[in-house]
Homo-oligomer: A and B are copies of this chain.
Amino acid sequence: MRQGAHAPARPVRFCAVTDNFQELRRKIAEVSDLAHASSILGWDQQVMMPPRGAAGRAEQMATVGRIAHLKFTDPEIGRLLDELAPTFESLDPESDDWGLLRLARRTYDKAVQVPTELRVEMARAAAEANPVWMEAKATSNFELFLGPLERNVELRRRYIECFPKMDEPYDVLLDDFEPEMRSADVTRIFDEIKAELVPLIAALRDREVDDSFLFGHFPLDRQVALDHEVVDMFGHRPDSWRIDPTEHPFASGAGIDDIRITTHYYEDSLKSLFSTMHEYGHGLYEHQIPRRFAHLPIGQGASLGLHESQSRMWENLVGRSMPFWRFLYPRVREVFPEQLGKVDVDRFYAAINRVQPSLIRIRADEVTYGMHVILRFELEQDIVNGRVELSDLPTRWAEKMDEYLGVEVPDDANGVLQDTHWASGLIGYFSTYLLGTVMSVQIWEKAQEDVPDLEDRIGRGDFATLREWLGDNVHAYGRKYSPQETLRRIVGTGIDAKPYLAYLEKKYGAAVTA
């Protein structure tokens, strides 16, 4: 007997596709869960863990990371992606499924190029380099760090060799942090910026601005309360956010409803307030990712650069703007009457926007900041291309600091050893800081176009408008598209330094002419 001869035709192929898709989603959701678990382990490590837990934690994180990598590079995922290729072609590129398949294909194809052993070795070398770097920085002794740095660089060279040849070997590293961005694009943008910034900085550097009142005594408890107040005004929801003190500020968490930002309080300055606004921007991006993306790799910011566009926006375009300070300053003066009682909002605004070339990137003002990043981007390319001996880095660093910012580097702690990135193996990361800053102005201008009275609203303490605009126009895409495609969908064009340079010129150039 032939069974089911009269049964309705079953859409077998469609079902198979659907099953494959369900299976792929299940598999990558698992990897996404592991990534969130890692993220909490990492947060705990920096914020909560008793110090002697470090060795055990390194093992736990290595194990979770290794399993996540093995699960993601499982050939079964490759098979599912291959079988889903016709589906992908037939999908509407506006659909979430298209975005998910695009991202999964791209990250899978990259991940399988790299042997697990190399990945494990890179992680271990970074873990070993970090404490050496800390000691080298503490004693300002670059020699000490040279060996671990050589090891990290050598492993990155081996990493680059895993991939098909690109125009520049550095492109491979850059792509990990800012997907589909090429060294040549970044060089073009950075050269354009450099040509304007160097003379602008030279013109601004001797301008007299009194910011002495920003240094003094700002009691910690009042700073903590003020930071929370500001973030509450921005739209922090304590049922899904945490704010904690740490040595180095960062944003982390485990998805939409578990956002964690940290800050470092200094008793003698207000800088934690700006760093908190910065991390708020990162946190808000992850918090406003559409709920239907939760659990999936598209459920996160599109790139480090776009992430930085959000943090720099809240820190600078909101947090160092006159409308914002007209609104907030009375309250800040009330909190710190001893320090600010006699300072009016114009003097305060001038002080927090004072341009002064200095040694340390993370303390740099809005104008000089870019040059710190460009310097690192250029040195990284020289490193990867073997155009600089690692032992010569301190000298090259000092030369560039003198050329770009006119400052003299007194020692390596205040020079080449200041940032953790190279110790952590994060070569290729730095440029995203400036790319993000550039994009922040493009996005800000688009927001102003859509909401012409945006600055007035901020001046009235209405942050919901900006927050919701960002949710609808930026965060809504998650990681569905490449970073530059995401930007095009937000502002209509790719990355462009002109709005950023015009913004700096308008905000700071006027002061030069004045």
Contact = CB atoms under 8 A, between A and B. Distances in A.
Interface residues of A, number: 39
Interface in A50-68: 50-57, 59-64, 67
A55 B257 contact: yes
A326 interface: no
29 contacts: A30-B63, A30-B67, A33-B62, A33-B63, A33-B64, A36-B56, A37-B41, A37-B60, A37-B61, A40-B41, A40-B44, A40-B60, A41-B41, A44-B44, A44-B48, A50-B239, A50-B242, A50-B257, A50-B258, A51-B239, A51-B240, A52-B239, A52-B257, A53-B254, A56-B255, A56-B257, A57-B258, A59-B295, A67-B67
A241 interface: yes
Contacts of A256: 56
A238 B50 contact: yes
Interface in A226-283: 238-242, 254-259
Most B C-beta atoms less than 10 A away, residue of A60, A64, A259: A60
Interface string A54-84: 1111011111100100000000000000000
A56 B256 CA distance: 9
B257 A48 contact: no
Contacts of A41: 37, 40-41
A37 B29 CA distance: 18
Nearest to A238: B50
A254 B45 CA distance: 11
Nearest to A53: B258
The main secondary structure of chain A at its interface with chain B is helix
B64 A34 contact: yes
A511 interface: no
Contacts of A63: 30, 33-34, 37
Interface string A278-291: 00000000000000
Interface string A22-53: 00000001100110110011001000111111
B36 A60 contact: yes
A491 interface: no
A332 to B, nearest CB: 27
Given A50-B240, A50-B241, A53-B255, 18 more contacts: A30-B63, A33-B60, A34-B64, A34-B67, A37-B41, A37-B61, A37-B64, A40-B40, A44-B44, A48-B242, A50-B238, A50-B258, A51-B240, A53-B254, A56-B255, A56-B257, A57-B258, A60-B254
A328 interface: no
A454 interface: no
Nearest to A50: B240
B33 A258 contact: no
Contacts of A60: 33-34, 36-37, 40, 254
A257 B50 CA distance: 8
Which of A30, A48, A64, A238 is most buried by chain B, counting CB atoms within 10 A of its CB?
A48
A294 interface: yes
Interface string A102-119: 000000000000000000
Contacts of A257: 50, 52-56
A377 to B, nearest CB: 36
Contacts of A59: 29, 33, 295
Contacts of A258: 49-50, 52-53, 56-57
A48 B48 contact: yes
A37 B62 CA distance: 11
Nearest to A59: B33
A47 to B, nearest CB: 8
Nearest to A294: B56
Contacts of A33: 59-60, 62-64
A117 to B, nearest CB: 14
A59 B34 CA distance: 10
Contacts of A55: 257
Contacts of A259: 50
Nearest to A255: B56
A55 B241 CA distance: 15
A284 to B, nearest CB: 14
Nearest to A55: B257
Contacts of A240: 50-53
Nearest to A71: B67
A2 to B, nearest CB: 34
A398 B67 CA distance: 50
Interface in A338-356: none
A29 B55 CA distance: 14
A363 B51 CA distance: 34
